[in-house]
Amino acid sequence: MKIGIIGAGRVGVASAFAIATSKVAEEILLIDLNKELAEGEAEDIAQGMDITKTLARVGDYPELADKGLIIVTAGLRRKPEESRLDLIKKNACLMEEIVGKIVAYNKHCLIFVVTNPVDVLTYSSLKLSGFPANKVFGLGTYLDTVRLRSFLIREGLNPEAMVIGEHGDSMVFLGDIPVQIAERTRKAGAEMIKKKGGAGWAVGLAVADVVKAIAKNEKKIFPLTSLINNWNGLSCVCISVPVEVGSSGIISYPEISLTEEEKERFLRSYDVIKETTLCL
């Protein structure tokens, strides 16, 4: 499989490295405004090609024409004087530019959004691309799910758990999760920003896990953000729910049972995303 990654910052490079080590990509093309940085990162990964069998290199948008999957990690960070909505609007404008360039050269790929706020930007990418809904999706709460399961394992608890809803404060925990672990999961992203400037490795591993399912047509279930249509009676926003993923993108939406409390929490999460989406 040939893959394009837009953005060679912390998340883009971590994703490229994790994908390369999973040995499912023939080629990874990195695109970034800072071409010298991207060249250095791509060459560093490419120097392990004897092990990974993956060629990592730098290019530009026309070279996306033969890529089956394009991952978007590029995005701006919030400045101290900016509101969250200011940042959302800036990244939405950036996404408009990026998706426009992707579609200009490739109308048959899958688009995998990682840039935050991922729910809103996945919706924006879907509308801008004009692609079928199953071909545009975002990492969403799979990252939160990976974090949650890792915290549970470290506490010697059953890791069979999942997070759905918004990739943000209103995320919804399914099952009986200890309060302290739920809070640690909810604050994990902020903790990474405080301690090291932002998350990277766990995000990259989560991205690579989804990419592997696509490349090998594993038909594996992940909580990813995508356009829902009458999911528990709700529609018209991109929000994370369990989806079956394979080579064509999203294959199906497996049914799951929610408690009344989980339904209420999911509705609150849905409303948060819908309100932000309408602001764009």
Read off the pLDDT of residues 211-259 as tens digits, 9 standing for 90 and up. Answer: 999 999 999 999 999 999 999 999 999 999 999 999 999 999 999 999 9
Q: How far is CA 157 from CA 149, 160, 161, 258, in A?
A: 9, 9, 10, 22
Residues 31-38, mean pLDDT to the nearest whole number: 96
Fold for 142-278, please state it. Answer: L-2-Hydroxyisocaproate Dehydrogenase; Chain A, domain 2 (3.90.110)
- Give the number of C-alpha atoms closer than 13 A to the C-alpha of residue 107, restricted to the C-beta side: 2
* pLDDT of amino acid 87: 78
CATH of region 2-138: 3.40.50.720
* pLDDT of amino acid 236: 95
* pLDDT of amino acid 82: 64
Domain span(s) for CATH 3.40.50.720 in the chain: 2-138
Domain span(s) for CATH 3.90.110.10 in the chain: 142-278
Q: How far is CA 267 from CA 33, 61, 166, 178, in A?
A: 39, 38, 10, 22
Does a cis peptide bond (omega within 30 degrees of 0) precede residue 117? yes
Indicate the pLDDT class of residue 74, thresholds 50, 70 and 90.
very high
Q: How far is CA 173 from CA 45, 181, 248, in A?
A: 36, 10, 28
**Active site amino acids:** 167
Indicate the pLDDT class of residue 88, thresholds 50, 70 and 90.
confident
Q: What is the DSSP string of 205-252?
A: HHHHHHHHHHHTT--EEEEEEEE-SSBTTB-SSEEEEEEEEETTEEEE
SS3 78: coil
